[in-house]
Amino acid sequence: MNAPEKVADAVQSDAVLAPVRLYRAAPGDSALAARLRKEVEGEVLFDAASRGRYSTDASIYQIEPVGVVVPRTAEAARIAVQIAAESGVPVLPRGAGSSQCGQTVGAALVIDNSKYLNRAIEIDAEARTALVQPGLVLDHLNARLKQHKLWFPVDVSTSAQATLGGMAGNNSCGSRSIAYGNMVHNVLAIDALTAQGERWRFGRMDDRSGPPGYLALLDKLAALYAREKDEIEARFPKVQRRVAGYNLDHLGPPHANAAHLLVGSEGTLAYFERLLLRLTPLPVHKTLGVVHFPTFYQAMDLTQHIVKLGPSAVELVDRTMIGLARDIAAFRKTVDAVIKGEPDAVLLVEFSGDEQVPLVAKVKQLVELMADLDCRAAWSRFSTPSCRRTSGRSGRPA
């Protein structure tokens, strides 16, 4: 993969780091659309209706794109990127459009990966890795992995729609990030296309097997980290779910992975062609403690103590979400079985592992913790696979 394959002869190797000139393209640019239709194998959508559809996503934002390309092949996507670069038009890769902060809308040429570039290219169960195209939906990958008793554990709430390329672009987290990390912790390498037409495998920075242009980039990144590591250490927030800005802290130890610079870059650095993902064994057992709180503040405040028990997930659900769920017939039975009374908020605390007994002990520790914190919290426990249920109340009388 690291052979410096060129998209076109017009892209010269000595122009690897040359700037790309951009101009403000008009939505529905007819000349650009005509060239794309002539040279790209795929759907070229520049009509007003299509631009209107792609001007929105799951966020509150709306920006009309220049046009949309839905490539049928990886080569078609490369040609579209090349044409956009030569025309000075920004490129915006798009997956499911499930982002809530406007990442997939913009005045650019949108490249929709979700329709055709959605295959799992290789699954290596022994090495616990998967090589996938960017448009593959998370649930579809995990459905294939189940037979191997593996899964990709960045389980975002939109897993039935979210694509892995989009998740990497956003550095998605998922409800179990406290146990498994974010996307940046689960992406091993990315095969990417630069605006200058170079195809590189971005991966561990101690791997010096790439072409000269890529190795020169690695040297620049290493020098950048060496120069700024004290500032990075002093100013980068020490939080688990940090998804803002470029992951410059991952250019040095213990990570030192160039792919991690692309994760979270929201399509601004390169176009993702393939992603090499780290897989995780499926947990055999899970136990869920549902802790009810009289106030939202108390639920938020006590989370800091609960995470010390080593749960695989801690999710907050407030009374608004509980009420909305109760109003939906498909969810009402489950809500009534799980929720006791009218709490202001609940915490769903999950423990998972290969043995059931230690997980039951963890829930007991959770109940004891609530009592030690003088918390008048009701609780329920649900276990898999048998879904046995016990209930009780922790805390001391007021």
| Cα distances (Å, whole numbers) of residue 390 to 2, 193, 382, 386 | 55, 53, 7, 12
Residue with the larger pLDDT of the pair 240 and 50: 50
When pLDDT is averaged across residues 290-296 and rounded to a whole number, the result is: 91
* pLDDT of the residue at 244: 79
pTM (2 d.p.): 0.87
- Would you say residue 8 has pLDDT above 60? no
% residues pLDDT > 70 (the chain): 87
- Among 175, 170, 177, CA closest to 98: 170
pLDDT value at residue 243: 79
Residue 4's pLDDT is 40
> Residue 107: what residue type?
A
pLDDT the model gives residue 21: 57
The radius of gyration of the chain from alpha carbons, rounded to an integer in Å, stands at 24
Q: Would the pLDDT of 131 be above 70? A: yes
pLDDT-derived band at 379 (thresholds 50, 70, 90) equals low
Name residue 151's beta-bridge partners: 280
Q: Please determine, for residue 160, whether its predicted confidence score (pLDDT) is greater than 80.
A: yes
Identify the pLDDT of residue 216.
Answer: 97
Give the residue-averaged pLDDT of 13-38: 69
pLDDT score, position 45: 97
Domains, the chain:
13-112 (3.30.43.10), 120-281 (3.30.465.10), 285-393 (3.30.70.3450)
pLDDT, average across residues 282-299 = 92
SS3 sequence of the chain? CCCCCCCCCCCCHHHCCCCCCCCCCCCCCHHHHHHHHHHCCEEEECCHHHHHHCCECCCCCECCCCEEEEECCHHHHHHHHHHHHHHCCCEEEECCCCCCCCCCCCCCEEEECCCCCCCEEEEECCCCEEEECCCCEHHHHHHHHHHHCEECCCCCCCCCCCEHHHHHHHCCCCCCHHHHCCHHHCEEEEEEECCCCCEEEECECCCCCCCHHHHHHHHHHHHHHHHHHHHHHHHCCCCCCCCCCCCHHHHCCCCCECHHHHCCCCCCCCEEEEEEEECEECCCEEEEEEEEECCHHHHHHHHHHHHHHCCCEEEEEEHHHHHHHHCCHHHHHHHHHHCCCCCCEEEEEEEEECCHHHHHHHHHHHHHHHHHCCCCCEEEEEEECCCCEEEEECCCCC
Residue with tokens 């920075």: 205
The 10s digit of each residue's pLDDT in 170-228 is: 999 988 999 999 999 999 999 999 988 999 999 999 999 999 999 999 999 999 999 99
Predicted pLDDT at 23: 56
Flag whether pLDDT at 166 surpasses 90.
yes
Rounded (5°) CA angle 78-192-111: 45
| Averaged confidence pLDDT in the chain | 89
Distances (CA, A) of 281 to 120, 152, 159, 278, 285: 18, 9, 18, 10, 12
Return the pLDDT at 398.
Answer: 28
> For 381-391, what is each residue's pLDDT tens digit?
666 553 344 45
Residue 19 in this model has a pLDDT that exceeds 90:
no
CB proximity list for 372: less than 8 A, separation 6 or greater: none
Burial of 330 (0-12, 13-18, 19+ CB in 10 A): exposed
Whole-number Å distance between alpha carbons of 132 and 202: 15
Neighbouring-strand partners of residue 348: 290, 315
